[in-house]
Chain A
Amino acid sequence: MNVSDVILEMKDITKQFASVKALDKVNFKVKRGEIHALCGENGAGKSTLMKVLSGVYPFGDYEGDIVFEDGVCQFKNIRQSEDLGIVIIHQELALIPHLSIAENIFLGNEQEKNGIINWNETLAEAKKYLEMVGLSESPETLITDIGVGKQQLVEIAKAIAKKVKLLILDEPTAALNEDDSENLLNLLLTFKEQGITSIIISHKLNEVTAVSDSITILRDGQTIETLDKAKGEATEERIIKGMVGRDLSQRFPEREPNIGEVIFEVKNWNAYHPLHKDRKILDDINFHIRKGEIVGIAGLMGAGRTELAMSIFGKSYGAKISGEMFKDGKELRLNHATDAIEAGLAYVSEDRKGNGLLLEETVMRNISLASLGKLSSNGVMNEYEEAKEAEDYRKKLNIKTPSIWQLVGNLSGGNQQKVVLSKWMLSEPDILFLDEPTRGIDVGSKYEIYTIIQELAAMGKGICMISSELPEILGICHRIYAMNEGRITGEVLQKDATGEIMMGYMTSHVEGEIKNEK
């Protein structure tokens, strides 16, 4: 291969977060003028790699070399990578809602002279870029007045305005409907003809195989392989195999399940986006949990898993929620988290810091938060009982903290997660929804948390575990539902489940054939 054919080469990139190696000697090579897809499970290191490339993690923060257009790069910030023509468009769009399209396109890159903006120039140029991305909106339209699909196009126009040579798109179609997605992918093909190189990170394998020339697969922070479409290597099966293939033994505690009657059931569950009320987030969901059973919900980012759990948990998410749910055969109507807790439900949030913990409060006060009623009489707290319960859980779950009076913000991720689990165990639920219970915590703590989950199941509780990590779902769930685009697309028993089968369902667009478990 001729050297100048390669626009970007990342060599032996290693990036460490505290004790976790997010990237481990990753090699990544992109040819000039191609569309290169980056695939991998959540947490495989795709976004981290792109953040290293774009200077979000500055030089010195990682090991290895970045060679762009035959020059070694040492970016200190995003500005420097953008000056060379590397532009990244993040999953969460970085547009300012109450500014116009034109103002957003030239944000930080204003058409000005001596600090005075030339509005005619700005609007004329913006119009030119909008035409290039095929967006027929006035450049004076406010961002908040256009849909997500068009916003995505504005982001791309913004990138072109920066004279982009290498365009990086992180999950560009995750929030788009099919028409908008197709538009966007066609646009990438047009850019390819104009000589712009693109990298796309995507979970949608059908899209990946349709548009990309090469596909690099990452797993656990390492490069697995790069597939060349011209050689016919880029099949969905092969990508899936690369994404999930790893040794599962010894990472999960063994335990014989003791599964009983159906304890919880959801029927015909629908919900819409809380802001965009015409966007359906959950589409006719049906599932059930048995006593002592750990049910997994597998799905990729944006599949609607968290939304499902939260909408069930006292309508804590979504609008126009409809459907029925039953506990022990009796119908439940839950309008607030309070009702859900009273009915014996618990929800451990995926967003530990944002939705789960009071970081500036003590371990004790966090553990008691969902059980204040039980720990008080006539509104007066029984602080002694509270401390005793907190101390019990500290010992039971082996929370590593100097004492229960320590601030939760000072604990490690794994121990914080144990505090959240303690909180919900203290509320004595019958059904627990665990949303990404092991996200961002080390392997040792993960094993402990799996053990706790299995013990809860052994006590006869129904567990619903949402996880983006397929191995852990396959490792500890007795039965697994797959979700994609707000629908349940498959149901598999643990003994029948493999990573390939699950990934197939998780990326499937048709309602899965629900197998009868009996």
Chain B
Amino acid sequence: MKNSVTTDEKQNGTDEQNVKGLAILGNMKQYSMVLFLVIVGAFFQFLTNGTFLRPLNVTNVILQNSHILILAIGMLMVIVLGHIDLSVGSVAAFVGAVAAILIINNGMNPFLAILLCLMLGGVIGAWQGFWIAYVKVPAFIVTLAGMLVFRGLTIVVLGGRTIASFPDMFRSLSSGFIPDVFGGGTELHVTTLLVGALFSLVIAIILVLARKKRISYSFSVPSMPVFIVQLVAIAAIVMAFSYTLASHAGIPNVLFILVSLIVIYYFATTKMKAGRYLYAIGGNEKAAQLSGIKTQKVVFWTFVNMGMLAGLSGLIFSARLNASTAAAGDLFELNAIAACFIGGASSSGGVGKVMGAIVGGLVMAIINNGMSLLGVGIDWQQAIMGLVLLSAVAVDVYNKKSAA
């Protein structure tokens, strides 16, 4: 999504030319990652003779990675604050285990169980947030402890067994697709195309309104032809993606959840007061506090939020696996953290974007998937992933040094 209402494009005036240069420089990292994503995609598309972008595979990439992307959103906010959360994998496993007990062993209504499980995630986040924000125990320690505690509790709750076979309703959380109301026997999933078209239209309307507003405040805007090219490009990408999904089974439910979360958190972090609090605290906690921001409260609620998203991630993972196991959620935390850093977040806080974390997560997902298609073993996949993380951050550090 283009960040068109803030700093990106300014074309009028000599003063503004400089600014444009600076803004582009600032966004280079994000764009270069998107570019990298495209190149890696094209690379695998070529090597796999077209298997990579087949509708079935694209759908699979979404199904297999959305639980990590959901964690990455929450993790990004934690990292922007200058903290870290190592416990999310264990929390996801624990919440998944509790869901299995509630739904499979006790026959609870899945909707009610999901609601309770999300609340459980939030409570766990509150527990950790309390120690971090108010007692000032470093987040690394608190969540390292949480990682052990909730991994242990997962095994306790499951009694060391794997509890399997959720009802279909719960499984559809991860494996279902939105229904095709117009499913008139065609090969294509018509509803998916319509949703894609609607989504493009909404983005276009938002961008047009923002442009008008900018003009009314006499801020500079891109020239009309450039603007139209932008709109068409966005619509084309969304429609191509919709078409690919429509050729298989349509939009997975989990993609619907993921996109909703991305939109909500993108909006919250870039357009809302709460987002400013995050970046201000991460940038300079003392200055934020003296400017009247209740820093402890913000840290606390960010961890509550992280806990809830970890819970959601655990539910989705259990639904996909159709079972809750003691080993679920292994390494989730590290994948989510890696996604944030590949996506341009700074380990010292204050810098990072939700879209960046998503792009970072997608880069990892695509490399994993591509290598799997090529028959590269999990051993080499991990090693290569590690190098991708290291080089992404090294490039970032180098850029910052040369900019200074």
A contact residues vs B (CB 8 Å cutoff) = 313, 316, 336-338, 340-342, 347, 349, 354-362, 365, 368-370, 372-373, 376, 379-381, 383-384, 387-388, 402-403, 405-407, 423, 427
A372-B273, A381-B273, A406-B19 known; A340-B286 Cβ under 8 A: no
Contact of B291 among A370, A376, A405 (CB under 8 A): A370
CB distance from A407 to the nearest CB of B (A): 8
**Could you say which of B7, B273, B287, B294 has the most chain A C-beta atoms within 10 Å of its C-beta?**
B287
Chain A residue with Cβ nearest B7:
A405
**Could you say which of B16, B271, B284 has the most chain A C-beta atoms within 10 Å of its C-beta?**
B284
Contact of A359 among B279, B284, B288, B289 (CB under 8 A): B284
Alpha-carbon gap, A368 to B7, bound state (A): 16
Q: What does the 1/0 interface line of B10-43 toward A look like (CB < 8 Å)?
A: 0000011011001100100000000000000000
Alpha-carbon gap, A316 to B286, bound state (A): 10
Contact of A381 among B22, B276, B293 (CB under 8 A): B276
Q: Is there an interface contact between B213 and A384, defined as CB atoms closer than 8 Å?
A: yes
Q: Is there an interface contact between A357 and B287, defined as CB atoms closer than 8 Å?
A: yes
Query: Is B249 on the interface with A (CB-CB < 8 A)?
Result: no
Q: Is there an interface contact between B15 and A337, defined as CB atoms closer than 8 Å?
A: no
Alpha-carbon gap, A402 to B6, bound state (A): 16
Query: Is B343 on the interface with A (CB-CB < 8 A)?
Result: no
SS class, residues of chain A in contact with chain B? mixed
A337-B292, A338-B292, A384-B214 known; A360-B273 Cβ under 8 A: no
Q: Is there an interface contact between A358 and B279, defined as CB atoms closer than 8 Å?
A: yes
Contacts beyond the supplied A388-B217, A427-B292: 13 A-B pairs with Cβ under 8 Å: A313-B290, A341-B291, A342-B292, A355-B286, A358-B350, A359-B283, A365-B276, A365-B280, A376-B272, A402-B19, A403-B15, A405-B23, A423-B291
Query: Is B153 on the interface with A (CB-CB < 8 A)?
Result: no
Chain B residue with Cβ nearest A358:
B283
CB distance from A334 to the nearest CB of B (A): 11
Chain A residues contacting B380 (CB-CB under 8 Å) are none
Q: What does the 1/0 interface line of B290-323 toward A look like (CB < 8 Å)?
A: 1111100000000000000000000000000000
Query: Is B256 on the interface with A (CB-CB < 8 A)?
Result: no
CB distance from A409 to the nearest CB of B (A): 9
A341-B292, A402-B18 known; A361-B274 Cβ under 8 A: no
Contact of A405 among B19, B217, B290 (CB under 8 A): B19
Query: Is B351 on the interface with A (CB-CB < 8 A)?
Result: yes
Contact of A316 among B213, B219, B289 (CB under 8 A): B289
CB distance from A388 to the nearest CB of B (A): 6
Alpha-carbon gap, A316 to B288, bound state (A): 12
Query: Is B389 on the interface with A (CB-CB < 8 A)?
Result: no
Query: Is B155 on the interface with A (CB-CB < 8 A)?
Result: no
A372-B276, A405-B23 known; A340-B292 Cβ under 8 A: yes
Alpha-carbon gap, A423 to B22, bound state (A): 23
Query: Is B5 on the interface with A (CB-CB < 8 A)?
Result: yes
CB distance from A376 to the nearest CB of B (A): 5
Contact of B350 among A349, A356, A360 (CB under 8 A): A360
Q: Is there an interface contact between B283 and A361, defined as CB atoms closer than 8 Å?
A: yes
Sampled A-B contacts (11; CB under 8 Å)? A337-B289, A337-B290, A354-B287, A358-B350, A365-B276, A379-B272, A380-B273, A381-B271, A383-B5, A387-B219, A406-B22
Alpha-carbon gap, A387 to B213, bound state (A): 12
Alpha-carbon gap, A28 to B279, bound state (A): 49
Q: Count how many chain B residues have C-beta atoms less than 8 Å from C-beta atoms of the other chain.
A: 36
Alpha-carbon gap, A447 to B16, bound state (A): 29
Chain B residues contacting A347 (CB-CB under 8 Å) are 290
Alpha-carbon gap, A56 to B18, bound state (A): 38
Alpha-carbon gap, A360 to B274, bound state (A): 18
Alpha-carbon gap, A336 to B297, bound state (A): 12
SS class, residues of chain B in contact with chain A? helix
Chain B residues contacting A355 (CB-CB under 8 Å) are 284, 286-287, 290
Alpha-carbon gap, A342 to B294, bound state (A): 13
Chain B residues contacting A403 (CB-CB under 8 Å) are 15-16, 18-19
A361-B279, A361-B283, A380-B271 known; A370-B22 Cβ under 8 A: no
Chain A residues contacting B219 (CB-CB under 8 Å) are 384, 387
CB distance from B269 to the nearest CB of A (A): 11
Q: Which of B234-280 contact A (CB under 8 A)?
A: 271-277, 279-280
Q: Is there an interface contact between A370 and B292, defined as CB atoms closer than 8 Å?
A: yes
Alpha-carbon gap, A362 to B7, bound state (A): 10
Chain B residues contacting A340 (CB-CB under 8 Å) are 292
Q: Is there an interface contact between A405 and B351, defined as CB atoms closer than 8 Å?
A: no
Q: Is there an interface contact between B292 and A383, defined as CB atoms closer than 8 Å?
A: no
Contact of A338 among B18, B23, B293 (CB under 8 A): B293
CB distance from B392 to the nearest CB of A (A): 19
Q: Is there an interface contact between B289 and A358, defined as CB atoms closer than 8 Å?
A: no
Alpha-carbon gap, A356 to B285, bound state (A): 10
Alpha-carbon gap, A379 to B217, bound state (A): 21
Chain B residue with Cβ nearest A376:
B273
Closest 9 CB pairs of A and B: A358-B283, A341-B292, A370-B291, A338-B292, A403-B19, A369-B291, A376-B273, A402-B18, A384-B217
Chain B residue with Cβ nearest A313:
B290
Alpha-carbon gap, A349 to B22, bound state (A): 29
Alpha-carbon gap, A427 to B291, bound state (A): 10
Chain B residues contacting A316 (CB-CB under 8 Å) are 289-290
Chain B residue with Cβ nearest A424:
B291
CB distance from A315 to the nearest CB of B (A): 11
Chain B residue with Cβ nearest A340:
B292
CB distance from B351 to the nearest CB of A (A): 6
Chain B residue with Cβ nearest A372:
B273
CB distance from B271 to the nearest CB of A (A): 6
A405-B23, A406-B19 known; A360-B351 Cβ under 8 A: yes
Alpha-carbon gap, A356 to B22, bound state (A): 23
Q: Is there an interface contact between A356 and B271, defined as CB atoms closer than 8 Å?
A: no
Chain B residues contacting A381 (CB-CB under 8 Å) are 271-273, 275-276
Chain A residues contacting B273 (CB-CB under 8 Å) are 372-373, 376, 379-381
Alpha-carbon gap, A361 to B287, bound state (A): 12
Alpha-carbon gap, A373 to B276, bound state (A): 11
Alpha-carbon gap, A384 to B219, bound state (A): 9
Q: Is there an interface contact between A338 and B287, defined as CB atoms closer than 8 Å?
A: no
Alpha-carbon gap, A382 to B277, bound state (A): 15
Alpha-carbon gap, A368 to B276, bound state (A): 10
Alpha-carbon gap, A340 to B292, bound state (A): 8
CB distance from B77 to the nearest CB of A (A): 15
Alpha-carbon gap, A337 to B280, bound state (A): 15
Alpha-carbon gap, A131 to B217, bound state (A): 74
